[in-house]
Amino acid sequence: MTKLTAFALFLFSLFAIAPAFAQVKFKGDMENIDPARHFPVGWTFPKTLTNEYSFTLDSLVKQQGKYSVCMASLKKDGNYASTGFGFPGRLMGKQIELRGYMKRENVTGWTGFWLRIDGTPAFNNSQQANIKGTADWTEFSVKLPYDDEHATNIAGGVLLSGTGKVWIDHVQLFMDGKPIDQALPKPIVLNKVEQDTAFSKSSGIGHVALTAQQQQNLVMLGQVWGFVKYHHFAVAKGDVNMDAELFRVMPSVLKATNNAELSKAHEQ
């Protein structure tokens, strides 16, 4: 595999799989089926991503329960495809582990589980494990360090490069060796900008029949506000919500009848 192809695979697993965040608890046993899609709830069904692979439930070949998910190449020169899950990952912990069972048949490229922690660089797509060929159900594990200060979401799944067929079942997630459902949520600490919600529903500015003076006032306000928003250190630090400040000063700016009053309004 060329470096370009490997990089393309990385980008595919990074962006192409849109995580399904509807469920809070992780379900990787493939038994909770969405009747409309006939695919496990919480797992992507990327039928629009490629016409080179099929993604189906299999009730005959499974590691446990009633179903497994099967991904199979449809052409002799298949490129790559992936399916996966995702859910909010603002949790407390230091290490994420994905464990899952895989059965493979005539894989010519490579296959494996992938795991990604959004908000951090942590990522592993099992390419270095070079899993290929044919093998019965085998448990695999992918571990990543978890930065609970910056992690926002957790996503994972299975990827198949080249041709062949892969089944997955009994997929589990662990935080520091315990089931992910037992992980404690990370307390959300809002900074000063996020706490300033005075104008989150309305600007408080009603209909205004603009005069020439008011138009000039708003032009000056826009110039001053734009400069401060993108250059002031307190704004960059997250201490000032400049969008809220805009609406705080705007009534005084609109009332100004001359440049002296306008200057005073800007000093507020």
pLDDT (0 to 100) of residue 234? 83
The proportion of the chain whose per-residue pLDDT surpasses 70, expressed as a percent, equals 88
* Per-chain mean pLDDT for the chain: 84
* Same domain, yes or no: 39 and 155: yes
Is 210 found in the same domain as 154? no
Q: Are residues 39 and 157 in the same domain?
A: yes
Domain assignment present for residue 41? The answer is: yes
Residue with tokens 């290929």: 132
**147 and 205 belong to one structural domain:** no
Least confident of 11-15, 109-113, 156-160, 204-208: 11-15
The answer to whether the CB of 136 falls within 8 A of the CB of 165 is no
What is the residue range of 219's domain? 192-266
Asked if the structure places residue 240 within a domain, the reply is: yes
Structure tokens at 105: 């048949």
- Each residue's pLDDT tens digit, 230-255: 888 888 888 888 888 888 888 888 88
Q: Is residue 124 part of a domain?
A: yes
Question: Do 8 and 120 have their domain in common?
Answer: yes
Question: Quick one: 77 and 11 in the same domain?
Answer: yes
Over 90: is that where the pLDDT of 263 sits? no
Q: What is the pLDDT of residues 175-227, one digit of tens each?
A: 999 998 888 888 777 777 777 788 888 888 888 888 888 888 888 888 988 88
- Tell me, yes or no, whether 144 and 251 share the same domain: no
pLDDT in the model for residue 49: 52
- What local confidence, expressed as pLDDT, does residue 50 receive? 59
Inter-residue contact 83 to 157 (CB < 8 Å):
yes
Determine the pLDDT at residue 47.
58
CB 20 within 8 A of CB 45: no
Residue 159 near residue 13, CB atoms below 8 Å: yes
Whether 200 is covered by a domain: the verdict is yes
Tell me the β-bridge partners of 139.
Answer: 101
When pLDDT is cut at 50, 70 and 90, the band that residue 9 belongs to is very low
Helix (H) or strand (E) holding 241: none
Total domains present in the chain: 2
Residue type, 116: R
Domain end residue (candidates: 149, 182, 215) = 182
Final residue of a structural domain among 182, 200, 228: 182
Of the pLDDT bands very low, low, confident and very high (cuts 50, 70, 90), residue 19 is: very low
Predicted local distance difference test score (pLDDT) of residue 138: 97
Give residue 22's pLDDT.
35
In this structure, what are the phi and psi dihedrals at residue 28, rounded to the nearest 5 degrees?
Answer: -120, 15
Please determine, for residue 93, whether its predicted confidence score (pLDDT) is greater than 90: yes
Name 97's bridge partners. Answer: 143, 174
Same domain assignment for residues 143 and 210:
no
Task: Indicate the DSSP class of residue 229.
Answer: H
Q: Are residues 24 and 151 in the same domain?
A: yes
Same domain, yes or no: 55 and 121: yes
Query: For the residues of 136-190, what is the DSSP string, one character each?
Result: EEEEEEEEEE--TTT--EEEEEEEEESSSEEEEEEEEEEETTEEGGGSPBPPP--
**Average pLDDT of the segment spanning 86-111:** 92
The 10 Å Cβ neighbour count of residue 217 is 25
CATH number at residue 125: 2.60.120.260
Rounded Cα distance, 27 and 170, in Å: 9
Per-residue buried b or exposed e for 169-203, using 16+ beta carbons within 10 Å of the residue's own CB:
bbbbbbbeeeebeebeebeeeeeebeebeebeeee
Residues 86 and 128 placed together within one structural domain of the fold: yes
- Structural domain ending residue among the three candidates 182, 210, 229: 182
Give pLDDT tens digits for 25-78: 677 889 999 998 889 988 887 755 557 899 999 999 999 999 999 999 998 877
187 lies in some domain: no
Q: How confident is the model at residue 16 (pLDDT cuts 50, 70, 90)?
A: very low
Residue 108 included in any domain: yes
pLDDT digits (tens, 9 = 90+) for 195-209: 778 888 888 888 888
| Nearest Cα residue to 74 out of 98, 47, 97, 53 | 53
Residue 45 lies in a domain: yes
Confidence bin at 13 (pLDDT 50/70/90): very low
